Structure 1
Amino acid sequence: MFHIKRAYEAYIDGFQEITMIIPKSNKHTVHSYFELIYEDNRKTKLPIVTRIEFERFIKYTVFTPEDLSLENKYEIEDEFGVRTDLQVGGVIRSNDFDEKYAYDGEDLGASYSNHSTQFKLWAPTASKVKLRIYQSHGDEEKFTEKLMERDGKGTWKVIIDQNCDGLVYNYLVCVNLIWREAVDPYAKAVTLNGKNGVVIDLSKGSHVSKVNSPLQSKYTDCIIYEASIRDFTSHPLSGVHKKGSFEGFHEKGTTYNELSTGLDYLCQLGVTHIELLPFFDFEGIEENNPFQSYNWGYNPLNFNAPEGSYSLKPEEPMTRITELKKLISVYHEHGLRIIMDVVYNHVYELQTSNFEKIVPGYYFRQDERGLPSNGTGVGNDFASERLMARRFILQSLKYWTEEYDIDGFRFDLMGILDTDTMNQIVTELTILKPEMIIFGEGWDLNTSLSPSSRKATINQSHQLSKIGFFNDKFRDGIKGSTFSVQEIGFIQGKLNHDYLSDLLLGSVGINNQVSLFQEPYQSINYVESHDNHTMWDRLKLSNGKDSEELLKKRHILGTSIALFSFGVPFIHSGQEFFRTKEGIENSYNSGDTVNSIDWARAERESSYINIVKEFIAIRKRFNCLRFSLKEEIVRHIKSVKVHQNIIGYRISGIEEIDRVKEIMVLFHNGLKDTTIDLGNEDNWEYVWDGTKHYVEKGIKAECNKLPIPLLSTVVLVKY
């Protein structure tokens, strides 16, 4: 890539609109007309329509009598005989451009068969495109090139008539006279560190069988556990032999002392879905030496290929594919489902992005000044509202679903994407897999997508009825503000009965509160995730003078609320044994010493892990604790107001649902043991008595003087 020196710049900003940028340093800056020169040297005189003077240049606008074609070459000449080439400009961001050039085929990328491979690239603004074929992996010097031909709707195509399995390739794309080399955005396999695309025979991985795991009939049957492949296996005491790898994440029989770790630990915990931090190909890790640096994976590089740093043989493109498929298959065998954390809202770096090299200016949003929109905070926002950007996301998600048998997707910074894209995702993915769970971060970020109602934010949940959202009001209401240590939540002693009760009941507007969601299943109920402080570190900041025992009680109370509230419970790995990151709020680059799951800590706190297991078992035991619709909440549930420090709810009319008359769940944030009076009611039995011990069936509760331990959760049932 190099810079071309031009006397002035001329751009196609609409199919009949041309803009000239004349530097004030030029000899001639005052113009009355320009001429459009066609490939056959015909000329059309174009009078100036607008002239705007800026500090360093003058901007002229002219209009053409007929539509310009991106397939043709044009020049512009001013009245002084100075010519320049006509470049593709802002036209690519117009609706007309999408209507004319958006390609709806499913064959972009390398379409492999054992006798030939078709290479197809969407590059409508390119004047030429070449396929560069490398002789071997890692050899950047030896290559051959084949010119590709236009194939309609902005696509370019070439067919290689041989078995291309393992062939290493990139595209060379010439736009506005500048050649750039790019990896195929649709590449399903890549070389080390994602430098080249690789043609792959995916049938070689067919020996990894797809296994049907138990289905959840509704979102609220899911219990999500968020983990990093590396963090979960990398600790020296993890018992895992192949640490930080796809293979290590499904090793069986791993232990620390007598505590099961890894896969066996997750199976025993009782969760239903494992949400894995990004495992597509990302930037920031040297794949041949992965433990030299650390990264969570939110630096997208090649969206359709597995990350090499998790592979035992990252230099072998097929190996990382089969390793990942094996991981998913093993988890399915054990009744666990896999959710993929996806990052379609941005790329690692805009200027070096393959998208930007292939169709400059199209795939990313610009602000009102023409600069890259930066709602993500990393320098670029993916323009999901543009048809080919949207179709890329859709085809990528469908590929992961069909080829890898992914069970759900968690969307990083989902509020950057648009509502039409997200709804189309739901429609197309649930056709492939009806039980698919889709949720994301609905934060309202300052991206240049207007109106704001088009953004897939939590405020637009009514437009996105089949999508779940991380409920930050739930998070902050329970453990205090993420952004202010002074603002405490329920587990630190704050109480607002009606507001908190609405959070418990799915944030759907019960108790005269403002409805955040239409239905409870949209609420992802969490108190910690990989972002921000862990709950333990947050409590150390806000309640540092408390004894460790008191901090643990507050912590378990917070976890129990997430598990017993209506919506979808979400647990951050290690939360169940007070995970700490030594007070570091954002540990994305803090290394393994901070981020590795501490299995020695888990073993020390195994009694508390058992409590969380029991909470999970209780949630699974009663169907009514997994109501997913607002009408069920309204019909069967009432908030409980029995004490100033207690919030909770009673569920009634559930004989046909759970073969019990009523269930009551109470959360106590007081610092003293207390009792409550349920009046003349009887026949209440304990399910959980607020201590460390699960209560056997048949233990009667003393209803007129019911003991509620300090900082505890109590669950009762009436038969």
Structure 2
Amino acid sequence: MDFNSPQFARQYHYDGGDLGARLTDTGTRFRLWAPTAQRVQLRLYPEGVVSDPLECVEMEPQDRGVWYYETPRRLAGVYYDFAVTVDGVTRTTADPYARACGCNGGRSMVVDLPATDPEGWQQDKAPARQAEDIIYEVHVREFSWDESGGFPQAYRGKYKAFTCTDTTLYGDGQHPTGLGYLRRLGVNYIQLMPVFDYGSVDEAAPDASFNWGYDPVNYNVPEGSYSLDPRDGALRIRELKELVQSLHRQGFRVIMDVVYNHTYHRDSWLERTVPGYYYRHRPDGSWSEGSGCGNDLASERSMCGQYILDSVLYWAGEYHMDGFRFDLMGLLDTDLMQRIRAALDARYGRGEKLVFGEPWAAGPTACKRGTRLAGKKSLPTLDPEIGAFCDAVRDAVKGSVQHTRSAGFVNGGRGKEGAVAQSLTAWCPGGRGFHTAAPTQTITYVSCHDDVTLWDKLVDTLDPRRRYDEGTPRVLRANRLAAAVYMTCQGRLFLLSGEEFGRTKQGQRDTHNAPITLNRLDWQRAWDHRDLVDCYRGLMALRKQLPALCDKSAGAARRLLRVETPAPRCVTALLDNTGSRWGQLYLVYNASGQAYTCTPDGEDWQCLADGETTFGWQQPQTAPTFTAAPGTALILGKPSQL
């Protein structure tokens, strides 16, 4: 059977939106899309782990490849799976469309979703958007695992930790950690690394191993290792909703990191249900591996794309997620990404839900002929509200992530001035390294969970002794300059949790399965490096007052009036900041070893931030000339004429 043929899609595409198990007023309905099956048997169980079935029933084939069974019993809390027979071979599979499951996801569970809603859930809504979107990437377990966070022992590493609103350093009552710390910092989006059910951690013994979670098993079910009881199929749902509700109440919107480009293993529920359909294969029949994980989902096939679209809409609706970060978005087709954007806009309003991703893949993929993938080259053709991580900014500021000793603008690199200048306008209208249609498409960042942390990169390039724990003055200065550069570029801001306090992983590049002791957030370090934290805090607060930087319109680049390189490793820029109490901005990035003195056009310029403080805007000082010390930045503002 040719799964790529238009005839197959026309005959079997199903968009009823009701696949899986659904409780109704009159009982329970089961639907499974399995167009190549000759027989499907539904099996019901009392538990989510090893047990004999309570009942086995034959499902009936219907139009468009759907198999159906209905019972007048309300089977909430009952577990189930399917026996699917294709070409004489019977495979046991959980439900790809399941919304609840047992421990480790091997069996699906019928769930009464309204019963999982915490009190007040129907009134839950996201806080109002601020002048700028500042995204803070967090791993659920890393966030609260360390004792220094002051979280209750039972909640450490769990969803419930996010319901603790006022934790302090070792419980001292004085130094905020967790959400209180983040409120003070000034970020307004919390991006959760994968919280769907993944396979690389044993939920029955979650403390025995660690993983970031980019290993999907059940796409529409929360991960159980973050739950207080992963054996309870409904509890993890309630706890994740409580997490979202708590973040909303504390002033944060929530972004979900989604991985629709591959599954944990090839022998997935999707493969067991419709063998060969959901994955890409090379002409010789071998598996495509553009994800670097052994398989690639065939998003361009109609029911695979529909599956992904339905999943996104489910998380947005049932869990009130405010945005989606797509892992390896460069493996997904542009038609699907456009459909996702349009569907979210239709339900929630234009741009209300953020959509962005990685505009690359780990390698080539074997997609259907004529498929256009959502990589860098496609960005100008995508909806402007589909964003992408801008590696051009990242590498210009700190150097290539592929080479440890490669340096960027702030840590000794040469010839980076042009890239820094283009970063100012979020690479609009673009250049060789990146090309976008509007700043809404640019995620401006210098570190995320992948690769070495910003701090470790600076230590690797600036400290021959590699003192990751200490922090030399040179490293600290470069970190402050890096923050000043990317936080004064247009686009949406993004940072790895702990970047602002010099988070270190001892120089290790990929810590996806390293011990939690290496990956955890060290809240003690946040207070040891409070001066660096305050640098970030001041920059975030200042940025929200500067329309020249927050402007996301297609014409935002016109706010850049002039950019110059007055000396090697020094960039200056003049920007139109109309709409603020400062009508113009003058930026100086001085990565050189010499002080740079400037006299901006006109008079009455004020120092808003410099190498000493990023809070100068609170009581700005006027002067005829200003000096940027070696390795520092200046942000100057010219008061608007009343």
TM-score, normalized by length of structure 2?
A: 0.93
Of stretches 90-99 and 260-269 in structure 1, the one that deviates more from structure 2 is 90-99
**Residue 222 (structure 1) aligns with:** 133
Name the CA distance, whole Å, in 1 between partners of 2:113 and 2:249.
22
Give the conservation status (yes or no) of the 8 Å contact 1:686–1:698: no
Name the CA distance, whole Å, in 2 between partners of 1:231 and 1:200.
29
**Residue 403 (structure 1) aligns with:** 318
1:245 aligned to 2:162? no
Within-5 A mapping of 1:557-706: 557-635=481-559, 637-652=561-576, 654-655=577-578, 657-678=579-600, 681-692=602-613, 694-695=615-616, 697=618, 699-703=620-624, 705-706=625-626
Selected match of 1:254 from 167, 186, 196: 167
Of stretches 133-142 and 553-562 in structure 1, the one that deviates more from structure 2 is 133-142
**Residue 502 (structure 1) aligns with:** 422
Partner amino acid for 1:229?
A: V
Within-5 A mapping of 1:512-527: 516-527=435-446
3-state SS, counterpart of residue 260 of structure 1: coil
What per-residue deviation string (whole Å, max 9, x for no partner) do you get for residues 477-496 of structure 1? 11001112343210113344
**Residue 332 (structure 1) aligns with:** 248
Partner amino acid for 1:606?
A: R
**Residue 279 (structure 1) aligns with:** 195
Name the CA distance, whole Å, in 2 between partners of 1:640 and 1:682.
20
**Residue 102 (structure 1) aligns with:** 13
Q: CA deviation at 1:464?
A: 1.4
Q: CA deviation at 1:497?
A: 3.0
- Distance of aligned partners of 1:624 and 1:119 in 2 relative to their CA distance in 1, 3 Å threshold: same
**Residue 458 (structure 1) aligns with:** 376
1:715 aligned to 2:635? yes
Give the conservation status (yes or no) of the 8 Å contact 2:409–2:417: no
Selected match of 1:550 from 474, 479, 486: 474
What per-residue deviation string (whole Å, max 9, x for no partner) do you get for residues 181-202 of structure 1? 1111111000011011100111
3-state SS, counterpart of residue 555 of structure 2: helix
Of stretches 570-579 and 500-509 in structure 1, the one that deviates more from structure 2 is 500-509
Partner amino acid for 2:365?
A: T
**Residue 50 (structure 1) aligns with:** none
Of stretches 278-287 and 617-626 in structure 1, the one that deviates more from structure 2 is 617-626
Where does the alignment leave 5 or more consecutive residues of structure 1 unmatched? 1-89
Partner amino acid for 2:606?
A: E
Within-5 A mapping of 1:268-307: 268-307=184-223
Name the CA distance, whole Å, in 2 between partners of 1:295 and 1:168.
27
Of stretches 457-466 and 221-230 in structure 1, the one that deviates more from structure 2 is 457-466
**Residue 369 (structure 1) aligns with:** 284
Give the conservation status (yes or no) of the 8 Å contact 1:373–1:448: yes
**Residue 126 (structure 2) aligns with:** 213
1:119 aligned to 2:43? no
Name the CA distance, whole Å, in 2 between partners of 1:635 and 1:376.
39
Name the CA distance, whole Å, in 2 between partners of 1:668 and 1:230.
38
**Residue 442 (structure 1) aligns with:** 359
Name the CA distance, whole Å, in 1 between partners of 2:451 and 2:146.
21
- Number of residues of Structure 1 aligned to a counterpart in Structure 2: 622
**Residue 295 (structure 2) aligns with:** 380
Partner amino acid for 2:137?
A: E
Give the conservation status (yes or no) of the 8 Å contact 2:125–2:320: no
Partner amino acid for 1:692?
A: T
3-state SS, counterpart of residue 503 of structure 1: helix
3-state SS, counterpart of residue 483 of structure 2: helix
Q: Aligned-residue CA RMSD in angstroms?
A: 1.8
Give the conservation status (yes or no) of the 8 Å contact 2:4–2:368: no
Within-5 A mapping of 1:163-182: 163-182=74-93
Give the conservation status (yes or no) of the 8 Å contact 2:439–2:556: no
Give the conservation status (yes or no) of the 8 Å contact 2:500–2:536: yes
Selected match of 2:55 from 144, 150, 164: 144
Name the CA distance, whole Å, in 2 between partners of 1:488 and 1:535.
12
Selected match of 1:414 from 329, 342, 349: 329
3-state SS, counterpart of residue 336 of structure 2: helix
Partner amino acid for 1:180?
A: R
Name the CA distance, whole Å, in 2 between partners of 1:514 and 1:150.
52
Q: Which has the larger radius of gyration?
A: 1
**Residue 29 (structure 1) aligns with:** none
Give the conservation status (yes or no) of the 8 Å contact 1:470–1:526: yes
Partner amino acid for 1:216?
A: R
Where does the alignment leave 5 or more consecutive residues of structure 2 unmatched? 466-470
Q: CA deviation at 1:343?
A: 0.4
What per-residue deviation string (whole Å, max 9, x for no partner) do you get for residues 586-637 of structure 1? 0001011110011111110012111111000001122222011342321553
Within-5 A mapping of 1:522-541: 522-541=441-460
- Distance of aligned partners of 1:637 and 1:204 in 2 relative to their CA distance in 1, 3 Å threshold: farther
3-state SS, counterpart of residue 91 of structure 1: coil
Selected match of 2:274 from 356, 359, 364: 359
Of stretches 599-608 and 494-503 in structure 1, the one that deviates more from structure 2 is 494-503
State, as a whole percentage, how many aligned pairs show the same letter. Answer: 33
3-state SS, counterpart of residue 566 of structure 1: coil
Name the CA distance, whole Å, in 2 between partners of 1:357 and 1:532.
34
Give the conservation status (yes or no) of the 8 Å contact 1:205–1:321: yes
Of stretches 413-422 and 688-697 in structure 1, the one that deviates more from structure 2 is 688-697
**Residue 204 (structure 1) aligns with:** 115
3-state SS, counterpart of residue 482 of structure 1: coil
Give the conservation status (yes or no) of the 8 Å contact 1:282–1:297: yes
- Distance of aligned partners of 1:453 and 1:286 in 2 relative to their CA distance in 1, 3 Å threshold: closer
Name the CA distance, whole Å, in 2 between partners of 1:187 and 1:648.
55
3-state SS, counterpart of residue 149 of structure 2: coil
- Distance of aligned partners of 1:678 and 1:142 in 2 relative to their CA distance in 1, 3 Å threshold: closer
**Residue 62 (structure 1) aligns with:** none
What per-residue deviation string (whole Å, max 9, x for no partner) do you get for residues 123-154 of structure 1? 01000001001133324224320000011100
Partner amino acid for 1:446?
A: P
**Residue 314 (structure 1) aligns with:** 230
**Residue 468 (structure 2) aligns with:** none
**RCO higher in structure (CA 8 A, sep ≥6):** 2
3-state SS, counterpart of residue 537 of structure 2: helix
Name the CA distance, whole Å, in 1 between partners of 2:432 and 2:622.
32
Name the CA distance, whole Å, in 2 between partners of 1:303 and 1:470.
23
Name the CA distance, whole Å, in 2 between partners of 1:568 and 1:648.
21
Name the CA distance, whole Å, in 2 between partners of 1:174 and 1:450.
27
Partner amino acid for 2:582?
A: V
What per-residue deviation string (whole Å, max 9, x for no partner) do you get for residues 415-465 of structure 1? 111000010000001222221100000114300125687011011101213
Give the conservation status (yes or no) of the 8 Å contact 1:562–1:570: no
